[in-house]
Amino acid sequence: MVRAGVPIFPHNVIAVIWDFDKTLIPGYMQKPLFDHFGIDPTTFWAESDALVDFYAERGAVRTNRDTLYLNHILTYVRHGLMPGLTNDLLSDLGGEIRFYAGMPEFLGLLEKAIESYPTYAENQITVEHHIISSGLRQMILGSAVAPFVEDVWACEFAEDVAPPGYLESGRMFSGESREIREIVYTIDNTTKTRAVFEINKGVNRHPGIDVNSKMASEDRRVPFRNMIYVADGPSDVPVFSVVGQHGGRTYGVYRPGSPAEFEQVNRLLEQGRVQAYGPADYTEGSQTAMWLTHTVETIADRIVADRKRELTDRLGPPPGHVSD
């Protein structure tokens, strides 16, 4: 039984939470997938975007615009246009993803900047990187950033299908060839907020904690004030809002040299969605690298100050000389 007043977690983790497409990379992660099978990405995305109307005309009242492309990938697989597409192949193709300048090295540098500073090390302060994306989890896990990332929330496919009676028979359906066949997990622009709460409560590290469990703020693994959310556009507004309203930091990025993307994040700043923004350049000395490093250090300084204050509150001031 946990005694009242004793927090479950020490609140010494700083979580830097990243969107993926157009935040860590210039475009969309599916490019290597399309290149591998000779698929025209313009055609694929045009078809995917038109699926909402396609299904509406056939009686579907509600569809999820953010994740319908997953169904269309499966349609391409079933029609032989992406033959032999497996999770392993998705992971291999993830290795071909090209990142913005400075990535993924900046992720490691940011961690070391905190862990190597004596005062932060004494307080066991650490930096964790998390990715929340409506893209493909296996591609992210196969990419160059994976070794630097604590966890990834993104969409997942399964290759084995559980047919009726599988609990008794133990049989699975995989078809004649091993290919992805089912969507088993999705993240869209709204459910990204659920992932943030899972980080907040520590669900990903402690499966016994349910994301819907009622937890006092002092019992949560990563307080929102210890979070930084980095993303590129209006689709990230729900997470920007949740993190910002609860005391976290928010930062928008845009592709260097793109007036349209610059205008997009500038509008987010004017609307109060982000606290700052800069080009998606993560090389040492760049505006974005300096802002993120400074912000992580600011959070670390606050954690140290909070701990000193708590220690004083519990133990009282040290004894001193009494003067007449």
Residue 92 pLDDT = 98
Q: What is the pLDDT of residues 55-78, one digit of tens each?
A: 999 999 999 999 999 999 999 999
DSSP notation for 137-199: HHHHHTSTTGGG-SEEEEEEEES-B--TTHHHH---B--SS----EEEE---TTTHHHHHHHH
In the predicted model, is pLDDT for residue 169 greater than 60?
yes
The residues spanned by each domain of the chain are 13-315
Q: Pick the residue with more confidence: 186 or 203?
A: 186
Percent residues over pLDDT 90 in the chain:
77
Q: What are 15-28's pLDDT values in tens digits?
A: 999 999 999 999 99
**Tell me, what's the pLDDT at 315?**
64
Q: How far is it, in rounded angstroms, from Cα 254 to Cα 196?
A: 22
Q: 283 versus 207: which is more confidently predicted?
A: 283
- Is the predicted pLDDT of residue 209 greater than 80, yes or no? no
What integer pLDDT is reported at residue 158 of this predicted model?
95
Query: Residue 211: pLDDT band by 50, 70, 90 thresholds?
Result: low
| CA angle, residues 70, 71, 76, in degrees to nearest 5 | 95
This prediction's pTM: 0.90
Could you count the other beta carbons within 10 Å of the beta carbon of residue 160? 14
pLDDT one-digit tens code per residue, 86-125: 999 999 999 999 999 999 999 999 999 999 999 999 999 9
Q: For 207-229, what is the mean pLDDT?
A: 80
What pLDDT does residue 166 have?
82
Tens digit of each residue's pLDDT (9 = 90 or more) over 302-317: 999 988 887 766 666 6
CA distance 196 to 29: 22
Whether the per-residue pLDDT at 1 is higher than 50: the answer is no
- The confidence score (pLDDT) of residue 10 equals 67
Q: How high is the pLDDT of residue 205?
A: 76
What the block records as the tokens of 223 is 């307080």
**Residue 248 pLDDT grade (very low, low, confident, very high; cuts 50, 70, 90):** very high
User: What's the mean pLDDT in 122-149?
Assistant: 97
Higher pLDDT, 308 or 30: 30
Please say if the pLDDT value at position 3 is more than 60. Answer: no
Comparison of pLDDT for 288 and 203, the residue scoring more: 288
Task: Output the CA–CA distances (angstroms, integers) from residue 117 to 114, 121, 284, 285, 300, in the order listed.
Answer: 6, 6, 18, 19, 10
Instruction: Note the pLDDT of residue 259.
Output: 97
Residue 6 pLDDT class (50, 70, 90 cuts)? low
pLDDT at residue 212 tops 70: no
Predicted confidence (pLDDT) per residue in 145-166, tens digit: 999 999 999 999 999 888 888 8
What lies within 8 Å, CB to CB, of 181 at 6+ separation is 74, 77, 157, 158, 159, 160, 161, 173, 174, 175
Radius of gyration of the chain (CA): 23
More confident residue, 17 or 213: 17
Q: Tell me the CATH number for domain 13-315.
A: 3.40.50.1000
Position 218 scores a pLDDT of 79
- Tell which residue, 120, 38, 115, has the closest CA to residue 82: 38
The average confidence (pLDDT) of the chain is 91
Does pLDDT of 324 surpass 60? no
Residue 142 CA to residue 93 CA, distance in Å, equals 7
Q: Which amino acid is at 276?
A: A
